[in-house]
Amino acid sequence: MVKFILSLFRPFRKILEWAGVNYHQFEVILQAKLTMDNRKVLGHNNQQKAMKNALGMQVMIYTMMGGFMSMMLMKGSGALFFFTTIFFSFIMIMVIMGLISEFNTILFDTRDNSILLPRPITPRTLLFVRVMHIMIYLMVISLSLSIIPLIVFAITFGVAPMLILLADVMLMTIFSVFLTNIIYMLLMKFTSGERLKDIIVYSQIVMAIIFMGAYQLMPRLAENEALISSFSQIKLWMYLVPPFWMSASLTPIINGGFSLQSAIFLTLSVAMPVLGLWILSSVLAKSFNQNLATLDQGDTKSEKKKGKAEKATLVDFLARIFTYSLDERTSFKTIWQISSRDRKFKQAVYPALGYVFVIILMTFINGHTSMADIVESKKFLLLIHVPSFILFILTFSLRFSDNFKASWIYLTIPVQRPGHIISGAFKAVTVQLYLPIFIIVNIVTIYIWGAGVIGQIIFGLCAALMMNYVILLLQPAIFPFSDEKSAEQSGRNATKSMLMFFTITAMGGLHYLLLYLNVNVLNVLPLVLIVLFLLSRKYRLTPWNKMTNFV
């Protein structure tokens, strides 16, 4: 595979050399980078195995996603402009997301600073390697997303339009790379290394939430006649939005009616990516390498955070309320601090906070239901149970960290019951991230449905916590932030998501059944509270021989 990809560059050797690239070095570095990509590592500690078919799996998932997209394209030529715009926007978002999520291995591999920078390699060669490495990675994403749409396009419109679509997809990918690089370079110019990493994490979170929102919103938009018909005319702002360049030039080629406007869009769709690539390789080359070198020079900041003392008092207060022992309290406070700083944890959990609002919002704006109908309905169950999504994400994510090796500390402390540590940790993230969202969402519930639902809310909260303790007790007991997240575990996310979805639906369903049967949940509440107490106690008393450790 690596050799095949490298062979694709050989015909362009002269052009690359003309552009100032040392072709031999270019090939040597690209080969090493692609070999490393092919050897993605999974497993923890030293029991690492080579990931098999990592690329194949990725291609398959993206192909399936592209398959869903192609359903829209199959709607025919009537709304082709609208649907191709959505398709190119989708490709652009996916490429940008790919570049953001793999930024540390693809874009900012700071190991390059000590391995490549002291070698006699021209900045131009290094930049071309970097750009080509990114391009190869992202072309895999965009082409796998496009396989099924391309087939659908070929069947519906013919081979020639399919080839144009293929070219557009590639141009869109190139332009997205340029766009992301520009943003990164601006960020690198104005922020320090650590802050840049924070910004990247937050943008990943925002992108994930936007993506989830778009995923929910798109089917509704595809049925919105008014919106589709608004695409019947070219508007001035469309010249500024890249996906329109591609769709507005592709549509008249297929449907006929190629005009001056179409020619302008066609020019933009070809010229802008090419121009972007040129700017990237010639103008920005030097500054990128220089900025990268400064990325891992460490921060000299020693900024004092405002309100730190007050925050510590609050955490102290909460720890005293929610914990039983000194060990549990200590764990609560420490994990509270780590979870609010650990990037990997934020990356895994924060999008879930956004998803909750997206899901709730989408359910309420669905259809043309009036407020009176909503009040009559039992949709408050949704508001009570959807936040459980956060709780389950917390349970699954709490074990992982980039600094997982630091968990040796748990094995050296004289704690009688390690359960106090894991229980304190779980309580910390629950109080920090789940409870505030649950409270905010259910203030809305009380506002809409009145104080009468308070009992339902308390019941829902206890049921969610109870269910979560069941999940915690069924899983192997692991210290917080003590395991390395691997590709294998990431692959299990789909199963976990299914389990989460099933559990939340089951809980909501059960709650609905109780309401349907006219059972007063307040009568059941004491039983739930007893079970919750017993489960939390059992978890807190987890002994050493039940602990799994990876140190």
Which residues of the chain form contacts with another protein (CB under 8 A)?
Answer: 24-25, 28-29, 32, 35-36, 39-41, 46, 48, 111, 113-122, 192, 290, 293-294, 297, 299-301
Between 24 and 320, name the residue whose CB sits nearer to another protein: 24
Token readout for 466 is 């109870």
Residue among 29 and 335 whose Cβ is closer to another protein? 29
| Least Cβ distance, residue 187 to another protein (angstroms) | 13
CB of 264 to another protein, least distance (A): 42
Smallest Cα–Cα separation from 352: which of 392, 313, 412, 322?
Answer: 392
Q: Report the alpha-carbon distance of residue 182 to residue 8 in Å, rounded.
A: 27
Per the CB < 8 A criterion, the answer to whether 526 and 459 are in contact is no
Question: What's the min distance (Å) between Cβ of 162 and another protein?
Answer: 37
Minimum CB distance to another protein smaller for 117 or for 361: 117
Query: Which residue's CB is nearer to another protein, number 116 or number 348?
Result: 116
Tell me, what DSSP letter sits at residue 413? S
Instruction: Please report how close the Cβ of residue 120 comes to another protein at its closest, in angstroms.
Output: 4
Residue found under tokens 């050296």: 412
DSSP SS3 for 492: coil
Residue 326: CB atoms within 10 Å: 11
Find the shortest distance in angstroms from Cβ 130 to another protein. 15
Compute the least distance from the CB of residue 59 to another protein, in Å.
Answer: 20
Q: How far is the CB of 116 from another protein (least distance, A)?
A: 8
Question: Positive or negative CA dihedral for 478, 483, 485, 488?
Answer: negative
C-beta of 45 vs 505, nearer to another protein = 45
- Return the number of the residue (106 or 246) whose C-beta is nearest another protein: 106
Q: What is the 3-state secondary structure (H, E, C) of 295-328?
A: HCCCCCCCCCCCCHHHHHHHHHHHHHHHCCCHHH
CB 103, CB 200: distance < 8 Å: yes
Cβ of residue 298: shortest distance to another protein, in angstroms?
8
- Which one, 123 or 455, has the nearer CB to another protein? 123
> For the chain, give me the number of helices (H) and strands (E)?
26, 4
Q: Distance of alpha carbon 247 from its chain centroid, rounded?
A: 27
The answer to whether the Cα torsion of 34, 346, 485, 112 is positive or negative is positive
Residues pairing with 42 in the sheet: 49
Q: Specify the residue, 118 or 257, whose C-beta has the smaller distance to another protein.
A: 118
If the CB atoms of residues 118 and 414 are measured against another protein, the closer one turns out to be 118
Provide the minimum distance between the beta carbon of 293 and another protein in the complex, in angstroms, as a whole number: 6
The residue among 335, 434, 358 whose CA lies nearest residue 394 is: 434
CA 390 vs CA 8, 216, 334: distances in Å: 46, 18, 20
Tokens encoding 245: 């360049």
Cβ atoms < 10 Å from Cβ of 498: 10
Burial class for 389, CB neighbours closer than 10 Å (0-12, 13-18, 19+) = buried
Among the listed residues 10, 11, 5, 20, the one whose alpha carbon sits nearest the alpha carbon of residue 55: 5
- By beta-carbon proximity to another protein, the closer residue of 111 and 235 is 111
How far apart (Å, rounded) are the C-alpha atoms in residues 108 and 184? 10
Output the smallest distance, CB 333 to another protein, in A: 22
Q: Residue 41 Cβ, how far from another protein at the closest point, in Å?
A: 6
Contact between 161 and 84 under an 8 Å Cβ cutoff? The reply is: no
R_g of the chain computed on alpha carbons: 27
Give 230 or 294: the residue with its C-beta nearer to another protein: 294
